[in-house]
Amino acid sequence: MRFAVLQLTGCAGCEVSLLNAGDELNLANLAYMPLLVSAHDVPEDVDVLLVTGGIRTDEDLLKLRDSAGKVKKIIAVGTCAISGGVAGLGDRHDIREHFLAQANKGRVPRMLPKCSPIDTEVEVDNYLPGCPPVPELYIKLLNDPQSLKTTSIVCKECGRKKPKEIRPDTLTAGIHKDIDPELCLVKQGQLCVGTSTRNGCGAICPRAGFPCVGCRGPSNNLIEKDADAWFESLISIFRRMTDIDPVLISEALKSPHFALFLFQFSDYADTELEKRPKEKVL
Ligand code: SF4
Ligand code: SF4
């Protein structure tokens, strides 16, 4: 299967993660990827086009439209391609002003009025959320796509214990060196959102002692609902598992620390987009 990677505006983390798959991927099948393969454009004989990054500039838009007609299948990869992510930060007023000032000097492509997910322009066959998707997800995607079907949440891959009798009443922030390696991070007062986030990443963050920030996006139960449902689910789970004030949970979820990842959900509420059908989300 010949595949190509079209990089729109993003941070290139999705490409680096793909390359971290190493020998598990047959890079002889990689037809185009500006970070790695020198080629002018997406060639005609491509089976699968992975699109990373959001539609931030006029150049992104042209590249995406031009490439979409040449390939058999399009997969939106990573938060930026799916809902804006890092690229979407440019919609913030002060950042936009900065880039427009640079654009006036002719250093950057012309910015579009708003950053958009790629399915606002082209038909997308599948979505692979993650910021970035971990290498194991790329390996499954390109070698055995059927194995990617998931119906579960990050907690299932995490395996930390959730004893009912432990109910923290304080939200703790930041990195803690004295984290219990076996106890659920929520039970240690951490803002872990693995309870409502789709699995597939191997729970790499909570297993290493860092709370899940939801980069894989909402679980199947929530993906076809709006952002409010996702927030309500999280708040109600925290109420069931802890005695922490729900207002504090709500405020923390909207804090800058989480804002980047929660674009994934807030964009669902802010736009007129059709909800992504769960069958398409890997
Ligand atoms: S630490 Fe997070 S991912 Fe792990 S069980 Fe607890 S809530 Fe779920
Ligand atoms: S544990 Fe959460 S934040 Fe970390 S990679 Fe998985 S979904 Fe993303």
On whether both 189 and 249 belong to a single domain, the answer is yes
The number of domains in the chain is: 2
On whether both 141 and 202 belong to a single domain, the answer is no
Q: Tell me whether residue 281 is in a domain.
A: no
On whether both 178 and 267 belong to a single domain, the answer is yes
Q: What is d(CA 246, CA 251) in angstroms, rounded to the nearest whole number?
A: 9
On whether both 91 and 183 belong to a single domain, the answer is no
Domain span including residue 265: 154-273
On whether both 9 and 114 belong to a single domain, the answer is yes
On whether both 258 and 131 belong to a single domain, the answer is no
Residue 272 has pLDDT above 70, yes or no: no
From atom 6 of ligand 1, which residue's Cα is the shortest distance away? 184
On whether both 55 and 137 belong to a single domain, the answer is yes
pLDDT at 226: 75
Band (pLDDT 50/70/90 cuts) for residue 269 is: very low
Ligand 2, from 20, 198, 204: best to mutate by most atoms within 8 Å of Cβ?
A: 204
Q: Answer for the pair 19, 36: CB distance below 8 angstroms, yes or no.
A: yes
Task: Give the end of a domain, one of 129, 148, 167.
Answer: 148
CATH number of the domain bearing residue 52:
3.40.50.700
Q: Tell me whether residue 118 is in a domain.
A: yes
Band (pLDDT 50/70/90 cuts) for residue 245 is: very high
In angstroms, what is the span from residue 224 Cα to ligand 1's centroid?
23
In angstroms, what is the span from residue 217 Cα to ligand 1's centroid?
15
More confident residue, 173 or 186: 186
Mean per-residue pLDDT for 63-83? 94
pLDDT in tens, 216-237: 988 988 888 877 787 888 899 9
pTM, entire model: 0.90
Residues making up the chain, counted from first to last:
282
pLDDT at 265: 52
Decide whether any atom of ligand 1 lies within 6 Å of the 63 Cβ. Answer: no
Q: Tell me whether residue 278 is in a domain.
A: no
Task: Give the end of a domain, one of 121, 148, 175.
Answer: 148
pLDDT in tens, 97-113: 776 676 666 666 788 88
Torsion angle, CA of 95/61/59/82, rounded to 10 degrees?
50
Residue 14 has pLDDT above 90, yes or no: yes
On whether both 140 and 16 belong to a single domain, the answer is yes
Q: How many CA atoms lie within 13 A of 171 on its CB side?
A: 17
Task: Give the end of a domain, one of 114, 148, 182.
Answer: 148
* DSSP string over 32-65: EBTTTB--SS--S-EEEEEEESBEEEHHHHHHHH
pLDDT at 159: 94
Residue 31: φ, ψ to 5°: -90, -25
